[in-house]
Amino acid sequence: MTVRIPKALGTILIILATIAITLAQAHPSESSQDAVAPEGSVESSCARSDVPCLVVPRCESGRYALVNRFYLTKVPAGTYADPADQTEVRVCYNATGFRIRHVVYDKHVFSPFTKCNDNVWEKGDVLETFIAPVHSIYDVPKFYWEVDGSPNSNLFVALIENANMGNTTCRSCKPGPLPCQGAHDFPPHKFSYKARVYKNAQKPMWTTDLFIPFTIFPESMRKSKLWRGNFYRYDYPQGETGPYQLSGWSPTFNGSFHIPTRFGVITLE
């Protein structure tokens, strides 16, 4: 049976539909506003193709930039191979610093370290963040901060000087560990760090919530919109007695993480 719609009513329905579409475009749904930004670069913000790029939103937006794939680092140049266990990193920033969250898939979570500035990388699971403000996407930082976290909620924080390469935005920097107390306190800098282990989850993992304050960076560069950095991981896929495996956001093609030429480009919205 065919239902005939009066011409006037049909016109009203078309107008209402048009209004609904316009409102939907002007006011995205809550789920779309909360959607995590996809991995990778925004071409207008990063002209480089040899290293990965990340556009980081403000935390107030409810969004995070997402890195959802790490690659083995100790591989031949130009090789991109998956590690045994994957890692996800979510990043946002506010007026006072970076917030970084990890989801770390791992069947064998362990670390003997519990105090701040312990050598957490020597034997145990650890996540490492290297970061520095720069003037150009082609700058190679001579000084950069290393922030390492273990599953025991303790941090190692140090300023690294790569004396053989790079340019600097830091004229009076003194490399070395940042004075600390307890597990993750570095007064007067307001770091925060919390790790949680989920051994009995369907996919065993550990997660972190890290805050890196801008106060550790040179004052003149704290509001920079352009940074170079990398995210790394030490993993023991076979457990404590097995060999470690190194992976990262931007693979270094080297047995060391300290290759600033391989740092990715981080742009703040």
CB 55 within 8 A of CB 45: yes
The pLDDT-based confidence of 173 (bands split at 50, 70, 90) is confident
Domain containing 92 equals 38-268
The pLDDT-based confidence of 140 (bands split at 50, 70, 90) is very high
Who has greater pLDDT, 17 or 84? 84
Residue 24 counted as domain residue: no
Residue (of 101, 160, 125, 154) closest to 242 by Cα position: 125
CATH of the domain at 166: 2.60.40.1190
Residue 215 counted as domain residue: yes
Residue 146 counted as domain residue: yes
Residue 197 counted as domain residue: yes
- The residues that bridge with 72 in the sheet, in sequence order, are 247
Residue 171 counted as domain residue: yes
Residue 8 counted as domain residue: no
* Cβ burial, residue 75 (10 Å; 0-12/13-18/19+): middle
Q: Count CB neighbours of 205 within 10 A.
A: 21
Determine the straight-line distance between the first and last CA of the chain, rounded to whole angstroms. Answer: 56
Who has greater pLDDT, 172 or 204? 204
pLDDT in tens, 213-222: 999 999 999 9
Per-residue pLDDT at 71 exceeds 80:
yes
Residue 29 counted as domain residue: no
What mean pLDDT comes out for the span 96-122? 96
What mean pLDDT comes out for the span 139-145? 93
Of 105-109, 185-189, 199-203, 262-266, the one with minimum mean pLDDT is: 199-203
Residue 23 counted as domain residue: no
Domains in the chain, number = 1
Give 179's DSSP letter: P
Q: Is the model's pTM score more than 0.85?
A: no
CB 238 within 8 A of CB 107: no
